[in-house]
Structure 1
Amino acid sequence: MTNQTFPVLEGKVAIVTGAAMGMGEATAKLFASAGAKVVVADFNDELGQKVTEEIKANGGEASFVHVDVSNEAEVEAMVKFAVDTYGELNVAVNNAARAPDQAPIADFDANVWDGIMAVDVKGVALGLKYQIRQMQAQGKGGSIINISSVSGFRPQPYTAAYNSAKHAVLGLTKTAAVEVGTEGIRVNAVAPGAVDTPMLRDALERFNFDPEAYAQQLSTLGRFAQADEIAQGSMWLASDASSYVHGTCLQIDGGYINR
């Protein structure tokens, strides 16, 4: 699959959370190839450093920072790290998430619920808090992209916590958008469909689903998305090409939601 990149993020400083693998890794690498200085943020130090070194080896500019997005002090430190390292913050992608739960509502595990909510919802809210504060202080606007899911529109059974979390991400996106739009800070979401990532492959194995058959159910294109295809949507929202796109959600789902 061709991955065309133009310098549409030249001069911008971007944070990508959950950037050690999957969609976050693809987004960090694509942003760097488009000219951004990228802060690779993740709790997995080994894989995060690996992504950072790969970006540098390909001529990009990147730095790694350890972050647990459910920890407020670490999220605040992440934003400070970006500014201390590169001077400002222009773009943020709140991508970090936990894998979906697997139980009917009548049997859900409260500990699993709390873990998913801590990362997928609280983590996005904390990201917004400190990213917006920094962009407000700079007075130059910015773009924030929150990663939701098709499950925020069309829930899957037995994933109550994940479905609820991804609905909440849309609510956070809309709330932030109505609060900060007049300051030139654009806030949008992306709702990926089924993306061929380690998280998806692990989930398919846990649920004992056949990948080929499942792809037919989750896309009218009959295949899983590649992580780069989702990253392209985030790059457009991060760029000035989407300067009048605000408070909305870009569905990148192969037609799944409307089938």
Structure 2
Amino acid sequence: MTPTPEQIQAAMAAHPRAFRDTNAVRARKIALWVGFFGLFAWCLYDFNFAPERIWIGLGRLGRVMSFMFPPHLWETWTEWLEIFTALGETIAMAFMGTLLGAVVAFPLSFLGAKNINRIFWLRQGTRRVYDVIRAFETLILALIFIRAFGLGPLAGILAIAVSEIGTFSKLFSEALENTSKKPVEGVVASGGSRLQSIRYAIMPQVLPVHLSVLLYNFESNVRSGTILGIVGAGGIGFILSDRISSYFWDQAWTIIFLIIGMVYLIDYLSAQIRTRVIGKWEGAR
């Protein structure tokens, strides 16, 4: 049945926001858009995004890029060994930092999950600890630990580990909260205790998620490890920083190529592990 014009007018009068925004809503939308474009224009002005400056910068970038080609190829095994050792150091630093962070974060995640920890003040206090830890950028932590423990991979490992404690704790606790209640009810109905319900009903649901998070963060920490090396935490970033500061642009470009290859290889291997392990896990369920 097609409504008559009178019915349409009556519906528009009764429910005006279903057909058009009110004047107040339109004014708020206009104010938001004006504020957005005003902030964008102010940022362009304050940060000096001048066309002349961009053009000059692109010219300088082109000259720097020209110094990088052709990439340098070292002639002795000793020189190559130094580079490969630094790459391995970066991977090891990311691995140890990720592992230590996960080991500490795993038990903390249970304190922050509302379906596990029913004590409100303890749960909220634990979550605020997550937030405090995550507020510190890995680079800042590396600078602090370099001052405390000196230059080298140890500072990078500790920086990654502390940063990952906050990240893993939050993600692990959210995975615990998002589990289905039906397996838990089944275990409890069978006479299982609370600990048994966690072990046999909750953990099989969250472990594939935990593994996926671990692999992704390990990939991310390999890239972070490169940056940490630039500030003195060891690894390939330290050598890259040295070559750039010495204006050996061709060697720097070769190192960048090797870093890209390393990240790609780790990404590929992580995807294979994720597919095989998590796929088998879900198939077993």
Instruction: Give the structure with the larger strand fraction.
Output: 1
Q: TM-score, normalised by structure 1?
A: 0.28
Higher RCO, 1 or 2 (CA under 8 Å, sep at least 6)? 2
Higher helix share: 2
- When normalised by structure 2's length, the TM-score is 0.26
